[in-house]
């Protein structure tokens, strides 16, 4: 019997994708803050926000030297000729570092210490390790040698000073550990060799890859890297993150927003259904007394200043269709309670007296922050909102029946929304939004206005056809632009005023498919998949050039690629 072929680990540019592992709140990256890129690599923590804690500077004979970088799913390395330093995660809070011919200087990235900011460095009197304490993260960073020597610079210095630990100083070969700890921790005792740690991380990633993308082939060349983006942005439950959670990014977009989690849950559903359920339920753990979901969750804050659109019924229907196991009655009962409260929030708290349609209070509520649909009024009754909520009420009615609960309330509300959507927002040519207070009609050029396609055959045939026809105006060589490129409002890097986004693509693709426009849905899928294979998994993309924009390691982009690729493979 022949051995199965080894799986090649995906490699990537650290300037675009951070180096991390599933479960860790740490990463290595030159990206240290919002749109802030350094020339060198930093240890970055996402506890209490995003903070570049330590700067990593390779040295030869006590002086900094230029290096080349190489990253794959298991290791990151600096190289200068034949000399090199390699890093591997040995658990979510510990980096193992090994050097041959190069030392590595770990320097305080803050540069100063006041009573309320900065980093303090001292040598632990018990075990001789060097410890940085960080006000910004509220954690400590302990450096210890497993082989070789280190040099400590600026220990116990206050105020502006150089604080650093040089590991491998004067050593031909060396090995060290860099750990994030709380107030104290037992000394690091390696349970395996450095090479065994590398093999363990590689095996863990390959197991994850086989679970989320077993269908991959040469025709889906970005699948392994997409899986890495998800895997490496997954953090362990800690702080206000009550479940293992996939953050939007391990760059500055290090939050879980209450609609992005749905796309990540769908990508995990087939192979990792337990993880998918955690992603789906995460915001419901913070549902408020009115039934509203939070806008976002991080390690140390939950925000309620905005909400996000109610796509959760749509997502649940697709999750159950993809899931690798049936959801239990207990799980469905928990989901039902959350969906019922979330739906009542929109029906009871977000409808003006005497109005049939719910309203957004700001573009941020829709997830399409600056869409042109909000140009006339911000408080609007929008067609996408009515469509999403009608789908959610339909799913909730079906789930109620399945659980033996009353469902008439949900069906009546669903039917009322469907009728009001067409009666009040369809003008015979297009769907529009109207001001909930002013009654004024908004512009209708945004792709946002086409999202009621997710209702499928529940929309009249002439409305479906008109929406699909209008979609063609948005379709570029790379996928559907959020604002047509010939619109006077279009901007290449205009956020939701032009660029291509993964969630809008996924919703449009599914809407076209359930509305009977299969060929057009296939085109949308193929173009977006090709875009990701060419330009990676950026936050969004220039609709005219296909270039990645803003954050370059976005999990919902990776998830939508995996969803569309899996469906394309399954469909032959």
Confidence bin at 474 (pLDDT 50/70/90) = very high
Burial class, 195, CB count within 10 angstroms (exposed 0-12 / middle 13-18 / buried 19+): exposed
pLDDT at 6 over 80: no
User: Domain 11-202, CATH 2.70.98 — does that match?
Assistant: yes
The pLDDT score that the predictor gives to residue 4 is 42
pLDDT at 314 over 60: yes
15 closest CA partner among 541, 555, 536, 544: 536
Question: How far, in Å, CA of 356 to CA of 343, rounded?
Answer: 14
User: Domain 213-570, CATH 1.10.10.10 — does that match?
Assistant: no
Q: What is the pLDDT of residues 75-98, one digit of tens each?
A: 999 999 999 999 999 999 999 999
Confidence bin at 490 (pLDDT 50/70/90) = very high
10 Å Cβ neighbour count for 290?
Answer: 13
Q: What is the pLDDT of residues 270-285, one digit of tens each?
A: 999 999 999 999 999 9
Residue 328, SS3 per DSSP: coil
In the DSSP assignment, the letter for residue 354 is: T
Domain extents for the chain? 11-202, 213-570
Name residue 143's beta-bridge partners: 130, 178
Q: What is the pLDDT of residues 194-216, one digit of tens each?
A: 999 999 999 999 999 999 999 99
CA triple 244-250-254, angle to 5 deg: 70
The pLDDT score that the predictor gives to residue 115 is 64
Lowest mean pLDDT among 52-56, 148-152, 158-162: 158-162
Percent of the chain with pLDDT over 90: 95
The pLDDT score that the predictor gives to residue 3 is 39
Confidence bin at 258 (pLDDT 50/70/90) = very high
Name residue 435's beta-bridge partners: 380
Confidence bin at 159 (pLDDT 50/70/90) = confident
The pLDDT score that the predictor gives to residue 237 is 98
The pLDDT score that the predictor gives to residue 572 is 72
267 closest CA partner among 213, 203, 326, 331: 213
Task: Work out the average pLDDT over 522-543.
Answer: 98
Residue 335, SS3 per DSSP: helix
The answer to whether the beta carbons of residues 46 and 235 sit under 8 Å apart is yes
More confident residue, 572 or 300: 300
One fold for 11-202 and 213-570: no
Average pLDDT of the chain to the nearest whole number: 96
Q: What is the pLDDT of residues 27-59, one digit of tens each?
A: 999 999 999 999 999 999 999 999 999 999 999
The pLDDT score that the predictor gives to residue 110 is 74
Question: How far, in Å, CA of 241 to CA of 103, rounded?
Answer: 37
Quick one: CA dihedral 229, 385, 529, 36, positive or negative?
negative
Confidence bin at 537 (pLDDT 50/70/90) = very high
**Please, which contacts does 291-296 make with residues 24 or more away whose CB atoms are closer than 8 Å?**
291/340, 291/341, 291/342, 291/343, 291/344, 291/345, 291/349, 292/342, 292/345, 292/349, 293/258, 293/342, 294/258, 295/257, 295/258, 295/364, 296/255, 296/256, 296/257, 296/258
The answer to whether the beta carbons of residues 178 and 164 sit under 8 Å apart is no
Q: What is the pLDDT of residues 453-465, one digit of tens each?
A: 999 999 999 999 9
């Amino acid at each position: 019997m022949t051995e199965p072929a080894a799986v090649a680990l995906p490699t990537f540019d650290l300037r675009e994708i951070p180096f991390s592992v599933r479960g860790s709140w740490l990463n290595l990256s030159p990206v240290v803050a919002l749109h802030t890129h350094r020339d060198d690599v930093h240890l970055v923590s996402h506890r209490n926000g995003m903070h570049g804690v330590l700067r990593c500077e390779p040295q030869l004979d006590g002086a900094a030297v230029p290096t080349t970088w190489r990253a794959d799913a298991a290791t990151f390395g600096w190289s200068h000729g034949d000399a090199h330093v390699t890093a591997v995660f040995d658990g979510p809070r510990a980096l193992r570092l090994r050097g041959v011919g190069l030392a590595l200087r770990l320097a305080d990235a803050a540069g100063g210490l006041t009573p309320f900011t900065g980093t303090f460095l001292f040598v632990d009197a018990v075990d001789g390790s060097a410890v940085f304490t960080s006000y910004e993260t509220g954690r400590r960073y302990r450096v210890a040698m497993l082989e070789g020597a280190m040099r400590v610079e600026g220990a116990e210095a206050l105020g502006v000073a150089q604080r650093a630990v040089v590991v491998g100083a004067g050593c031909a070969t060396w090995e060290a550990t860099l750990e994030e700890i709380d107030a104290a921790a037992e000394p690091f005792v390696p349970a395996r060799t450095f090479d065994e740690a590398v093999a363990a991380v590689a095996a863990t990633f390959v197991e994850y890859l086989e679970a989320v993308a077993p269908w991959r082939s040469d025709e889906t060349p970005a699948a392994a890297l997409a899986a890495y983006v998800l895997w490496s942005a997954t953090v362990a439950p800690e702080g206000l993150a009550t479940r293992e959670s996939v953050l939007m990014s391990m760059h500055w977009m290090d939050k879980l927003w209450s609609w992005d989690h749905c796309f990540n849950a769908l990508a995990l559903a087939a192979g990792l259904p337990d993880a998918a359920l955690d992603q789906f339920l995460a915001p419901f753990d913070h549902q408020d007394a009115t039934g509203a979901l939070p806008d976002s969750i991080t390690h140390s804050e939950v925000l309620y200043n905005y909400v996000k659109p109610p796509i959760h019924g749509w997502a649940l229907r697709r999750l159950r269709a993809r899931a690798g196991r049936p959801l239990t009655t207990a799980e469905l009962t928990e989901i039902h309670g959350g969906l019922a409260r979330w739906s009542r929030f929109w029906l009871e708290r977000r409808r003006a007296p005497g109005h049939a349609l719910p309203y957004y209070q700001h573009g941020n509520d829709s997830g399409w922050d600056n869409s042109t649909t909000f140009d006339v009024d911000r408080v609007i009754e929008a067609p996408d909102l009515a469509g999403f909520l009608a789908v959610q009420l339909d799913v909730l009615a079906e789930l109620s029946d399945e659980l033996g609960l009353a469902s008439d309330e949900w069906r009546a509300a669903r039917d009322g929304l469907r009728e009001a959507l067409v009666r009040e927002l369809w003008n015979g040519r297009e769907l529009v939004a109207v001001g909930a207070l002013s009654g004024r009609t908004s512009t209708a050029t945004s792709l946002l206005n086409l999202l009621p396609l997710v209702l499928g055959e529940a929309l009249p045939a002439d409305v479906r056809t008109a929406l699909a026809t209008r979609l063609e105006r948005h379709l570029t060589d790379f996928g559907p632009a959020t604002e047509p490129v010939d619109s006077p409002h279009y901007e290449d890097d205009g956020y939701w005023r032009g660029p291509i986004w993964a969630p809008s693509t996924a919703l449009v693709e599914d809407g076209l498919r359930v509305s009977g426009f299969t060929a057009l849905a296939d085109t949308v899928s193929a173009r977006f998949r090709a875009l990701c294979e060419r330009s990676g998994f950026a936050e969004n993309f220039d609709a005219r050039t296909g270039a990645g924009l803003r954050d370059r390691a976005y999990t919902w982009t990776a998830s939508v690629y995996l969803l569309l690729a899996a469906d394309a493979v399954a469909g032959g």
